Amino acid sequence: MDIETARFNMIEQQIRTWEVLDPGVLELLGTLSREDFVPPQHRALAFVDTQVPLLDGDPRGPCMLEPKLEARLLQELQVQHHEKVLEIGTGSGFMAALLARRAMHVHTLECRAALAHMARESLRRNGVLNVTVHEVNAAEGARGLPGEAPFDVIALSGSVAEVPRALLAQLKIGGRLAAIVGSLPIMRARLYTRVGDDAWSEVDLFDTVAPRLEGFAEPGRFKF
């Protein structure tokens, strides 16, 4: 596989066509080695428009999101170099690396020990030093990281039925949170902005589908 050609095609054919036009985001995707964050057995999928499984024997388990989805969320969050970021759902560590190249520091939460270890090693190999990977249980992850709050940016790298108010409360005034919200068959990427002490605005960005983050509550089902 010609890696650089594959990377170029990913950017031009997948990411640009998904309205990702921020020059800084495009440059970052062209220089950060996505292939280094993909499990070796799936390296051929590094630049393909698909979700990449991260754990052997668990094809429906945690995965890397599609490159275009990672890029679009990064663009929408408009991370600045002085900002502190929280990510929930470290996975491979690639989204944390993207965020870190644009932020002051990233705290990222992962509930699977194997993935936390994988992400730390991938981040270290790529010289991404401003990321702290926290290994937590799923319920702890869903509560965010109040001890480090408030955050300028929070990114949920997976889908949830709804964003908990306690998580939104960990944003600074003017802080942004990006999440994929809803249930199958259609979910929506949504951007929340804290506009007051107890007030948030929200904007639906686009329709998509992503695997569930563990630990977040599901809506109750009606029972007769």
Whether 26 and 68 have beta carbons less than 8 Å apart is answered as no
What token pair was written down for 21?
Answer: 């036009």
- How far is residue 102's CA from residue 210's CA, in Å, rounded to a whole number? 24
The length of the chain, given as a count of residues: 224
pLDDT at 92: 96
Rg (C-alpha) for the chain, rounded Å, is 17
| pLDDT tens track, the chain, 224 positions | 699 999 999 999 999 999 999 999 999 999 999 999 999 999 999 999 999 999 877 667 789 999 999 999 999 999 999 999 999 999 999 999 999 999 999 999 999 999 999 999 999 999 999 999 999 999 999 999 999 999 999 999 999 999 999 999 999 999 999 999 999 998 999 999 999 999 999 999 999 999 999 999 987 654 44
- How far is residue 126's CA from residue 97's CA, in Å, rounded to a whole number? 9
What token pair was written down for 51?
Answer: 């979700």
Query: Would you list the domain boundaries of the chain?
Result: 3-208
For the chain, counts of helices (H) and of strands (E): 7, 9
Report whether the peptide linkage leading into residue 164 is cis, meaning its omega lies within 30 degrees of zero: no
**Ramachandran angles phi, psi of 208, nearest 5°:** -165, -175
Q: Which residues on adjacent β-strands are paired with residue 212?
A: 159
Class at the top of the CATH hierarchy for domain 3-208: alpha beta
What token pair was written down for 97?
Answer: 């690396």
Helix (H) or strand (E) holding 134: strand 131-135
**Taking each helix axis from N to C terminus, what angle separates 23-31 and 67-77, rounded to the nearest 10 degrees?**
140
